[in-house]
Structure 1
Amino acid sequence: MAFPLPSRLRLLGLSLLFPVLVSAQTTPPASPSPAPAAPASPQWYLLDAQQDGGVMGISANRAYRELLRDKVSTPVLVAVIDAGIDTAHADLKRIMWHNPREIAGNGVDDDKNGYTDDVWGWNFLGGPDGRNINQEALEETRLLARLKPLYQGKTRTAVPAAKRPEYDLYVKVKKAYDDKVKENTQRLQEYGQAYAENAQGAEGLKQTLGVSRLDTATLRNPPTQDAELRQVTRGLYQTLLQTGFASLDDVLMEMKKGLQETKDQMDYGLNLSYNPRPIVGDRPDDVKQRDYGNRDVAGPDPMHGTHVAGIIGADRENNAGILGVAPNVQIMSVRAIPDGDERDKDVANAIRYAVDNGAQIINMSFGKYFSPQRPAVEEAIRYANTKGVLLIHSAGNENNNLDQVTQYPSPTFQNGQSVPNMITVGASASTNDETLAADFSNYGKLRVDVFAPGNQIYSTLPGSKYGNLSGTSMASPVVTGIAATLKSYFPQLTAAQLKRLILESAQPIHTKVRQPGSNKLVDFSTLSRTGGIVNLYRAVQLAQQPMP
């Protein structure tokens, strides 16, 4: 699990907001990278391009208003395999799945499914004593820690022929690990310097203006008549509008968050000696083991999963908060994704748990680039397919071409066959211009099926709060919400039919956009198999037609 790190700082380009750091600013601020202004509606992703000023949403509001208003919905069970969900959130508590066969807190496996007191779902990152894993190492770190003692300092020719594939893996893993250490070391230095200098500049400007907060209202009309100072505040105001921040204090908080995330990556994700798995107390290499974990489906940090759950199905009937994409959904929380790389064993077991407990659709907003227990995950995916379960998977946030770099779970099995019951989703933004493809999103004409809104997505946060997050992690539940809506109103649809409807209703878009991670302009339609963005209105129209 990873957000683009951190999402909106990309729009600032880490350039200094304050080029001259003195108590009185005298130089205009550096120009920020071009970025679209945030749409007026916080839930822009529900809007319709034709009826709502060109905003590139999924036409959900229009679908409910014009096509689904008088139709009856049926309940749909959606599993969210993630870092945990705040089940008490005001906009989620009514829609959370409750295991009807389990009695809470009696210490007995009432339904005999192997998981004691799994009332709200299950946590494969927890131990029997109630402790939980939060931080984890990256998969390349875990692999390197295992392979380094075996192959460090050796040449390929010195390794027995039977061991050479593993040696080749060691070489590949070591390069990936070394590249990430270098990247994060540089980023840590850059973020630290940028944060310190911008914090100093912000404090200096506050003192000069005699204000305690540099928000958009203050910067739009600053308490000064000094022409040069007003020019500075005007530039900063425009920067806030373009990047969607409410104040410079929020920018500094985001910078500090990025600094901490990078530090955590070094301290945990890339630490060869870090291993939190004893907390769980399982046999990590035994992919057949099922009996481990605990009932804590929120975990230490349920932010990511709570945001995902709200996108899919936040309560549409309580006249408060936000609207989930799907109308009549139950959310099952399956905790298997730490802050770091998930383990294949946990993902496989999470899929199986969801399927065995009745999930019809599974959201998987996670991914990584090495999969040592890949056969176990693929076996679980095939099992889900035999039970008619559709999987929705995020494409990843590293602006990689997945036709050239494999991300796991892969949309293709090891034998080369396409996974029939999985949709891989890239992230799009709100405006139909060169920024339409989110700059962090992975893409691929062959291995990414479709794009969906994933930039500045407003949804639920722990503690009955709300806020914006960005990532393909947000795009995936948009598609999951569409799948759940179709299943709710057309319950006879199979997983294969749901996938076909979602992909066929995404019409190709030929806008010239920046290829993620570069300034190269490409046709948006070349970034995925469908070349388009998901659209609930068109999907419902297709679903109303006779199935082939």
Structure 2
Amino acid sequence: MFKSKVAIALLAISILPFSGFSQSTGDKAPANWYNLDYKTDKVMGISTEKAYDLLKGKKSTPVIVAVIDGGVDVNHEDLKDVLWINEKENTKSSKDGNNNGYIGDKYGWNFIGNANGENVNYDNLEVTRQIALFEPKYQSVLPSTKLSAKERREFVAYQKMVADYATKMEEAQFGELNYLKLKENVDKIIKAIAKEPKDITKKDLDDYQANSDSEKLALRVAKKEADKTSFNDFYKDIIEATEYFTAQTKYHLNKDYDSRVIVGDDYNDASERYYGNPDVKGPDASHGTHVAGIIAAKRNNGIGINGVADNAKIMSIRVVPNGDERDKDVANGIRYAVDNGAKVINMSFGKGYVYNKATVDEAVKYAMENDVLLIHAAGNDGNDIDITPNFPTKYFTDEDDAITGEAPNWITVGATSWKLDDGLLADFSNYGYKSVDVFAPGVEIYSTMPENEYKVQQGTSMAAPVVAGLAAILRSYYPELTAKEVKDIILNSVTKVDKKVKIKKEGSTKKVYLDEISVSGGIVNAYNAIVEANKYIANKK
């Protein structure tokens, strides 16, 4: 699941528990910072523009990058020229033009919809689904109840889930109550000022006289947040936060809600492949569109932004709802990408529990066999994922959850900010000495949004596509490189930082070096990667 993108720093007011992806940086990030260079621009970007100077005169070939996400707006002005298009298909046709089993898959496929064009928007969290599954069997179990070894493991896991679920529900109910109250009072202020939110100024807020203590609090919050951006942006964030917490209580944590009736598949049949529809945008394509833009938004076209890769084709695969993705859909999304020519797959999603890991593992192995590179976001809980996994993972496991192997063509990505100080590691980013391979820019990333819009978002969801874009550059300009070689070049060419960064550990903050919390110990660098690739190719001859 990708969390809400809300970035309101309201914790200081002590009324709300939710900080979203807040990252205290003190000022705004420079435009396009993730493509910039530290020596030239004094920000910790990946030196993309500098890398292209090295590539001048070198030919490239198109590389298909699959974005497995919540949907992509294929009509966006900055993406429409960089799409993978299945020329034999028409989204309105009833015939399978290329006989791949998916009718009308012109831009990709949507695994969370049905043949009638209905789509899943909301779904449960995986913890909710698993509690609903195990509750009938284990809710009445006593310490004296005889259980097999497998049942005992399930029961212990179930108890952990119940505690986690209770905490999530408490936070969601508290957040919903407070954000609804805040929005109610902000709406009163808007009505009294008698202007549209986009037209409300700081002077309007300063002149307004609150009529109650709750209005005074709302006004204070509005002034503080409007000073950072604008009142209109603040109001949009309030709406988004309200919707987020309402979705938590109504759908994500509701054990009685079942979205799968919309899809209409046999959910327990993990071998089922051919379901869904060709609507790759779906009801909410904001996250996937943002991710796609980071990878490959049309460069140097005078509009919008410059994506990282200059010759990538975005294949859109929708498997992530507003809630947690399902393992069957993830596995099918990977297989669809591989079968239709993707050489890089971006997976900016994740969850704390897994239902059918074996099915996902088999799909990952299929990608490995076909020389495809998988890029996965590390997650946004500030956790050590060596200890607390964020699924899917690069590790293969058996039925007892023992690790049996590791995917060689897999990169897990944590997020960093633009300043070279102890806040370089994004405060939300997961980390792990064995489980996180590299870091990449993921704080205040400006990219594409549906309906030709653009917006700043942040998360490891934004860091992963930076790496996917770099992988696409390497696979485009050096097509002779294998997926494993591309991964090795990316990891061996990182920018090392001789400075400790802050992490959350066991309820407190400590400082560590990046090589203590990742495999490579650094931040990806496109310029260094091109230099490394040139050396690698020269040595192979």
- TM-score normalised per structure 1: 0.87
Distance 2:327 2:174 in 1: 30
1:434–1:281 Cα change, 3 Å:
same
Q: Of the candidates 504, 509, 534, which is equivalent to residue 520 of structure 1? A: 509
Per the alignment, residue 26 of structure 1 pairs with none
SS class of match (1:458): strand
1:139 and 2:126 equivalent? yes
1:39 is aligned to 2:29? yes
SS of the residue corresponding to residue 39 of structure 2 reads: coil
CA offset at residue 174 of structure 1? 1.6
Q: Choose from 249, 255, 259 the match for 1:276.
A: 259
Residue number in structure 1 paired with 2:47: 59
**2:236 is the alignment partner of 1:249:** no
Does the Cα contact within 8 Å between 1:78 and 1:330 map onto a contact in 2? Answer: yes
Match of 2:7 in 1: 8
- Matched residue SS, 2:129: helix
Counterpart of 1:27? Answer: none
Correspondence for 1:540:
530
Give the equivalent residue in structure 1 for 2:59: 72
Rate the CA distance shift 1:76–1:250 in 2: closer, same or farther, 3 A: same
Amino acid at match of 1:501: I
Amino acid aligned to 2:427 = D
Cα gap change, 1:109/1:412 in structure 2, threshold over 3 Å: closer, same or farther?
same
How far did residue 196 of structure 1 move? 5.5
State whether residues 156 and 164 of structure 1, in contact with CA within 8 Å, keep that contact through their aligned partners in structure 2.
no
Deviations 1:251-270 (A, max 9, x none): 23213311220111111000
Q: Which residue of 1 aligns with 2:19?
A: none
Amino acid at match of 1:520: T
Q: Indicate how the Cα distance of structure 1 residues 271 and 312 shifts in structure 2: closer, same or farther if over 3 A, else same.
A: same
Deviations 1:143-162 (A, max 9, x none): 11111112212125414325
Does residue 99 in structure 1 map to residue 86 in structure 2?
A: yes
Deviation (angstroms), 1:290: 0.7
Contact 1:440/1:516, CA 8 A, preserved across alignment: no
**Is the contact between residue 23 and residue 443 of structure 2 (CA under 8 Å) also seen in structure 1?**
no
Contact 1:426 1:475 in 2 (8 A): yes
Measure, in 1, the Cα distance between the counterparts of 2:266 and 2:444.
Answer: 39
Q: 1:163 offset after TM fit, Å?
A: 3.0
Q: Using the alignment, how far apart are the partners of 1:360 and 1:257 within structure 2?
A: 35
> Within 5 Å, which residues of 2 pair with 1:389-404?
389-404=372-387
Q: CA deviation at 1:372?
A: 1.4
CA contact (8 A) 1:219 1:237 kept: no
Q: Does 1:306 align with 2:305?
A: no
Give the alignment of 1:92-491 within 5 angstroms.
Answer: 92-161=79-148, 163-192=151-180, 195=183, 213-214=200-201, 245-414=228-397, 415-491=403-479
Distance of 2:177 and 2:487 partners within structure 1: 44
- SS in structure 2 of the partner of residue 263 of structure 1: helix
One-letter amino acid matched to 2:511: V
Query: Could you tell me how far 1:458 is from its partner in structure 2?
Result: 0.5
Change (3 A) 1:383 1:366: same
Displacement of 1:317: 4.8
Residue 497 of structure 1 is matched in structure 2 by 485
In 2, Cα distance between equivalents of 1:7 and 1:522: 27
Distance 2:452 2:396 in 1: 40
Partner-residue secondary structure (3-state), 1:143: helix
Please give the alpha-carbon distance, in whole angstroms, between the structure 2 residues aligned to 1:33 and 1:374: 32
Separation (CA, whole Å) in 1 of partners of 2:26 and 2:465: 23
Note if contact 2:494-2:525 (Cα within 8 Å) is conserved in structure 1: yes
The one-letter code of the counterpart of 1:475 is: A
TM-fit CA distance, 1:8:
2.3
**How far apart are the structure 2 equivalents of 1:60 and 1:33?**
24
- Do the aligned residues in 2 keep the contact of 1:80 with 1:362 (CA within 8 Å)? yes
Q: How many residues align?
A: 511
Amino acid at match of 2:265: D
Residue 213 of structure 1, CA deviation: 2.0
Identify which range, 338-347 or 517-526, moves more after superposition. 517-526
CA distance in 1, matches of 2:509, 2:294: 31
293 and 212 in structure 1: CA distance in 2 versus 1, 3 angstrom threshold: closer
Residue identity opposite 2:236 in structure 1: M
Say whether the 8 Å CA contact 2:394–2:407 is kept in structure 1. Answer: yes
Q: Taking structure 1 as reference, are residues 183 and 13 closer, same or farther at Cα in structure 2, changes over 3 Å only?
A: same
User: 1:524 Cα deviation (Å)?
Assistant: 3.9
Displacement of 1:105: 2.7
C-alpha separation in 1, matches of 2:221 and 2:332: 51
Secondary structure of the residue aligned to 1:424 is strand
Task: Kindly report the root-mean-square deviation, in angstroms, between the aligned alpha carbons of the 2 structures.
Answer: 2.8
| Aligned-partner SS, 1:39 | coil
Q: In the alignment, is residue 49 of structure 1 matched against residue 38 of structure 2?
A: yes
CA contact (8 A) 2:5 2:457 kept: no
Cα distance change, pair 83–34 in 1 and its aligned pair in 2 (3 A): closer
The whole-number CA distance in structure 1 between the counterparts of 2:97 and 2:24 is 57
What amino acid does structure 2 have at the position aligned with 1:122?
W
Deviation for aligned residue 1:187 = 2.8
Q: Give distance in 2, aligned partners of 1:539 and 1:287.
A: 39
1:509 shift after superposition: 1.5
State the distance in 1 between where 2:140 and 2:384 align: 32
AA at the equivalent of 1:8: A
Cα displacement string for residues 307-327 of structure 1 (whole angstroms, at most 9, x for unaligned residues): 110000001153221111000
Q: Distance in 2 between matches of 1:392 and 1:539?
A: 16
Partner AA of 2:263 in structure 1: V
Question: What is the DSSP-based 3-state SS (H/G/I as helix, E as strand, rest coil) of the residue aligned with 1:286?
Answer: coil
Aligned residue in 2 for 1:22:
none
Shift of 1:418: 2.3
Greater CA drift, 85-94 or 522-531: 522-531
Using structure 2 for the length normalisation, give the TM-score: 0.88
1:345 CA drift (Å): 0.3
1:528 partner amino acid: S
SS of the aligned residue for 1:348 comes to: helix
Asked if structure 1 preserves the Cα contact closer than 8 Å seen for 2:70 and 2:284, the reply is yes
SS at match of 1:520: strand
Give the 3 Å change call, closer, same or farther, for CA 237–265 of structure 1 in structure 2: closer
Aligned counterparts of 1:291 and 1:501: Cα–Cα separation in 2: 36
Q: CA offsets, 1:243-293, max 9 Å, x none?
A: xx4213322321331122011111100000000101111000111001211
The gaps in structure 1 that reach 5 residues or longer are 18-31, 225-232
Is contact 1:86–1:462 with CA below 8 Å preserved after alignment?
A: yes
